[in-house]
């Protein structure tokens, strides 16, 4: 099992992902009902194209969701996504992989800025992977 403080860059994703734990609120469906309370989750890893989360809330593969991803109390972005997979780790918590869609460029920039501030060397290493011998 991978240490939660390290990142394995051996996967061949187009957009690299970074291990980062942040608060994420989500609403089920692309247009949640008025006054529907959000559901709570934590990110495990994040990229410009998607996120892996931990949650105790009900979440289903194929579901469309709206999300609010917090980088701090004052800094957050709104995202929409499709749940690509769900894996139960125990009776209470599940992991889910969510692919973003219709993500504004400024939101992608905020995600990249966050990743760069978390671990600058790993971000640069992932950008230039395969360029040097």
Provide mean pLDDT across the span 38-58: 93
Residue 29 confidence class, pLDDT cut points 50, 70, 90: confident
Provide mean pLDDT across the span 97-106: 94
**Which among 29, 15, 21, 18 has a CA at the least distance from the CA of 58?**
29
What three-state secondary structure class fits 92? coil
Q: Under a CB-based contact definition with an 8 Å cutoff, are residues 23 and 55 in contact?
A: no
Q: Which pLDDT score is estimated for 7?
A: 40
What CA–CA distances, in Å, run from 92 to 56, 58, 95? Answer: 5, 10, 11
What three-state secondary structure class fits 86? strand
pLDDT in tens, 61-86: 999 999 999 998 899 999 999 999 99
What three-state secondary structure class fits 8? coil
Instruction: Return d(Cα 9, Cα 129) in angstroms, integer.
Output: 9
Residue 1 confidence class, pLDDT cut points 50, 70, 90: very low
pLDDT in tens, 113-122: 887 665 556 5
What is the model's pTM?
0.75
Q: Does domain 18-120 have CATH number 2.40.10.220?
A: yes
Q: Which pLDDT score is estimated for 31?
A: 72
Backbone angles phi, psi at 39, to 5 degrees: -100, 155
Q: Which pLDDT score is estimated for 6?
A: 40
Residue spans of the domains in the chain: they are: 18-120
Q: At residue 5, does pLDDT exceed 60?
A: no
């Amino acid at each position: 099992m991978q240490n939660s403080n390290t990142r394995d860059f051996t996967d061949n994703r187009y957009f690299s992902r970074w291990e980062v734990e942040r608060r994420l609120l989500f609403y089920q469906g692309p247009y949640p009902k008025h006054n529907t309370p959000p559901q709570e989750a934590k990110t495990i890893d994040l990229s410009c194209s998607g996120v892996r989360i931990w949650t105790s809330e009900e979440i289903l593969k194929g579901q469309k969701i709206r999300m609010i991803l917090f980088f701090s109390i004052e800094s957050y972005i709104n995202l929409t996504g499709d749940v690509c997979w769900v894996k139960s780790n125990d009776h209470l918590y599940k992991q889910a992989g969510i692919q973003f869609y219709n993500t504004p460029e400024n939101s992608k920039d905020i995600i990249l800025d966050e990743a760069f501030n978390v671990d600058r060397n790993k971000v640069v290493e992932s950008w230039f992977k395969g360029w040097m011998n």
